[in-house]
A and B are shown apart, each in its own frame.
Chain A
């Protein structure tokens, strides 16, 4: 059995077990309505977590994504308010912008040989600051096209709504799986995360790969920003503060090693859904306070990290 996939199985088992426990207490939780909402409410987080997974697989970290999501929302809202451009054009502009922003950060990380942590921290300040400069107030989006996007859903059996943004999230995870596991670029990312010196000796173009990884993360953050703006119907520069840490937590719960080089894109989806499930349970229960969400997520983080640590030791002792 592949020990590398064990964290992924563990995550999936824990998710299913948790769902079972919730279902025993509240049978209604196993309805397409709840599942539809789970996908819709966590769509932006799932998309940004896909980008974060790739970054973490490469052995890096991207702290800027939360700010980029907020910037995206404000950018879209302000442009739509000031000009008569079609939202699709604005989306394309925005994605180009955030991708270039990510690429620039990747370039700096590689060229300056500085830790990704501090470079993307500067990126986080820059993106949030630019959002503030565009507008401090929450800007509503009134374009009719947005109404169409918001009301686009497929009615599942059981009256659950599979919304457009939920589908976008699932498709993004699928695309992320293809990029990470089926392309040469994905293999380079894993190699880079496994060890830079080894990767270089294997012929991985380190600079180019680093740049592309952060560009991908920027693209995902932009897409997530679009989805978030559809979800909330507005752009607000104070939104999604700290989302980068939630995304990192989701990636770790999903079984990806934070040191890089090992993990699965699919695990991240399970990680996001697990965190969403905790919130849903707290809503169902009604008596628990929201701060339990944070504590439970923290405990889950600890459990998964210890699990990974144990598995790593196990596989190493088997090799020896």
Chain B
């Protein structure tokens, strides 16, 4: 029930958006069956939203610790390049996937060490990998687009399972699994405590350093999954464009999910809804026949509205206004009773 109350604004926003798109494009909600898979614009949103949704899972945790991870887009490119390189080199599917995940974990470990041990601001610490990452990915692909024909690997991008696309299953499993892990154990609470006050939580016995590193590793792993999805989808590793600027969309998804950039309380489910909202806007603008150049302006307007709604200062002023309003009403009632 509390969860429902927490994600209500995101659900309402998503429902409104879907309704709006349906007005312009009546077939938006139509879901058909082609062969053994479901097809339709909504299914497409679930599939195309996968990279940002996957990134948003890790990003939510990082932001909950008052950090930020700018490197996830380039980590995607690195992991995609590693996976494609391994598959094209005949290593087999499982080793390739494990190598890609290991590369993501390594990237996360690097970020985590810089943030938690060396003590560099998360923004700068992850900016380093963001700058270097595409260079590293190009080093792996030697500047070319590495293509492969492995059907097993392509399954992660364009296959389907029980009717739904595999990328959709991936982000659903990853997001719900992580949410359960955080909320069914004390981990979520500990992560929040680091975000609110790292020193105090360390003094209270939370192993803040290890937990911080772990959070960045999780973000790296999520980026690796996202990298695998986009690489498998186009059956090739594009070091220049894979995951380009997706870190910003992921951060946006987290913010639309109502999570504060100042750390503390978080909801992974709300971030996933945020990712869906972003993808619905992207897909909806295309389907509704608007030129795609309106996309960014609409996004900007949306962010602005959400910012105003979330602003601590506006919230404080609203409470002040409400309290004074209530007080004056009660005073009026009392005067009425006294008469």
Residues of A within 8 A of B (CB): 61, 108, 111-115, 117-119, 121-126, 128-130, 132-133, 136, 241-242, 245, 248-249, 252, 258-259, 289, 291-295, 297-299, 301-302, 305-306, 309
Contact = CB atoms under 8 A, between A and B. Distances in A.
B238 to A, nearest CB: 13
B31 interface: no
Contacts of B124: 252, 258, 301, 305
A249 B313 contact: no
Interface residues of B, number: 47
Nearest to B293: A132
Interface stretch (B54-62, B150-158, B247-255): B247-255
B326 interface: no
A235 to B, nearest CB: 15
A111 to B, nearest CB: 7
Interface string B126-157: 01111111111011000100000000000000
A131 to B, nearest CB: 9
Contacts, number: 120
B68 interface: yes
Contacts of A128: 296
Contact of B132 (A112, A119, A130, A294): A294
Contacts of B131: 245, 249, 294, 297-298, 301
Nearest to A242: B245
Contacts of A309: 118-120
Contacts of A112: 307-308, 311, 313-314
Interface of B: 68, 118-121, 123-125, 127-136, 138-139, 143, 239, 245, 248, 251-252, 255, 261-262, 293-301, 303-304, 307-308, 310-314
B201 to A, nearest CB: 21
Given A111-B311, A114-B310, A291-B138, 9 more contacts: A108-B304, A125-B300, A132-B297, A249-B127, A258-B123, A291-B135, A291-B139, A298-B128, A305-B125
A295 B297 contact: no
B127 A294 contact: no
A111 B134 CA distance: 37
B135 A293 contact: yes
Nearest to B308: A112
B127 to A, nearest CB: 7
Contact of A306 (B118, B123, B298): B118
A295 B313 contact: no
Contact of A289 (B118, B143, B310): B143
A305 B134 contact: no
B312 to A, nearest CB: 5
